Amino acid sequence: MYKVILSVRDLCAGYKNRRILDGINLDIHRGKVYSIIGPNGCGKTTLIRAMSRNLRPESGKVLLDGNDIFRTNTKLVAQKMAILGQTDTSMSDITVKTLVEYGRYAHKKWWAGSDGEDTKIVDWAIERTGMKKLQNRKINALSGGERQRARIAMAIAQKPEIMLLDEPTTYLDISHQLEIMELVSALNREEGITVVMVLHDMNHAARYSDKLILLNDSKIHTIGSPQELFDNGELEKVFNVDAEILSDSEDNSSVFYAKRVKQ
């Protein structure tokens, strides 16, 4: 049985006077890959922002290893949880290596510089994400896929136990989308990092996720494996599509197929 690393309890959240999420309860088990899916405006990004402490909920709790993240020291949270929001251009004029070094800040005393262990981890993160040849290049000189790999390198330099990603493949072409999804999958499989991500592409969700969290009408509609959701007709109920999963005969992975249900 997988131990729960992140829990959401009776969460209500939104913006100003508009409630987006209402009574969310969710357990994220260590070592698994979860994808949050659902119609536009259903609260996918709101949920990932609340889970990552970037949005304070109206009520309810988010627990990281049993501790309320809103009452836990920021550096302690960052030592366990890495967060990649949608594309950030605020640090575009620095090198890849400098960006990745920022990932070590959660593990340092405020007066301390980098030590040998930090250097090893930064080098490992750069190597692990295939950015070694680009480590001295500035972020604004990278392609979209390279920039996203650099951000993932920064995240894993934190040596997190769980990584939260909001639409990690947005604005990337199909080749770079697959590159990022394969990297995230490998980090889960080989480094044991738990992953929770917001995805729009159902093929990516079906192929790379252990569990899908399907949101609709401010609530969790259902949670299950990709096969369970498609077999039970949950996608048709929420998206009004006739959906099925086909197996890729070469690697036994899942491929999503859907057509719109006629009105």
- Flag whether pLDDT at 211 surpasses 80: yes
Q: How many residues does the chain have?
A: 263
- Flag whether pLDDT at 218 surpasses 90: yes
Measure the CA–CA gap between 37 and 83, rounded to whole angstroms. Answer: 18
- Flag whether pLDDT at 257 surpasses 60: no
Read off the pLDDT of residues 114-140 as tens digits, 9 standing for 90 and up: 568 899 999 999 999 999 999 999 999
Closest CA relative to residue 163, chosen from 47, 31, 27: 31
The pLDDT-based confidence of 255 (bands split at 50, 70, 90) is low
Helix, strand, coil tally for the chain in percent (to 5): 35, 30, 35
Terminal alpha carbon distance of the chain = 43
Q: What is the mean pLDDT of residues 64-81?
A: 95
| Per-residue tokens: 263 | 């009105």
Report the chain's mean pLDDT, rounded to a whole number.
89
Measure the CA–CA gap between 134 and 122, rounded to whole angstroms. Answer: 14
Measure the CA–CA gap between 234 and 222, rounded to whole angstroms. Answer: 8
Q: What is the mean pLDDT of residues 180-195?
A: 97
- Flag whether pLDDT at 253 surpasses 80: no
Closest CA relative to residue 162, chosen from 121, 134, 192, 141: 192
Looking at the whole model, is its pTM more than 0.85? yes
